[in-house]
Structure 1
Amino acid sequence: MQCYFIISLFIFIICTFLLRFIFKKLISSSSTTHLRLPPSPPALPLIGHLHLMSRTFPKSLTEIGTKYGPLLYLRFGFTHCVVVSSASVGHGNIQNT
């Protein structure tokens, strides 16, 4: 009896992951616009880039910006963030009239 429970639980978990994968592929292929994100330093799976931060948050962002460039894509847990550390990067497509 316990063997059937373990087997059915295993099948349920596999089916759940397969359905999630299929729906994710369908949703991503149906959208015509794909965002091109800026470069990003290596991140850890759950915490993202929190391991790169120190007690002084602005100083950490400055150090990361000098190492990886003025435009960065960072993840802090489940929060996504684009960091612009140079004003010239932000005015690339704006024309003064």
Structure 2
Amino acid sequence: LGKYTTNSSADHRVRLDLGFWVKFSELATKCIIKIVEFAKRLPGFTGLTIADQITLLKAACLDILILRICTRYTPEQDTMTFSDGLTLNRTQMHNAGFGPLTDLVFT
């Protein structure tokens, strides 16, 4: 993971490992595809207009992603394990740029 630094003016500068964000983006994309596939199997969902389907998916997607992430939390080790086996602890998650999301998952 990249380095996390701050300066005296309270500006936070985060240098992140681009490879990590590419991997995270790929995992999030796979999860979103699964969410859309699930939604299409719900009775009546495909009968809605495309605009309404998109609105519902946008409104629910982040909540569903957070729920899925929470199921990957291991309290005994205080770590998060992603579907590809990548495991990060609380500090690594925060330093990687997840910020407030870290506290939502690790509490």
TM, length-normalised to structure 2: 0.26
TM, length-normalised to structure 1: 0.28
- Of structures 1 and 2, the larger Rg is shown by 1
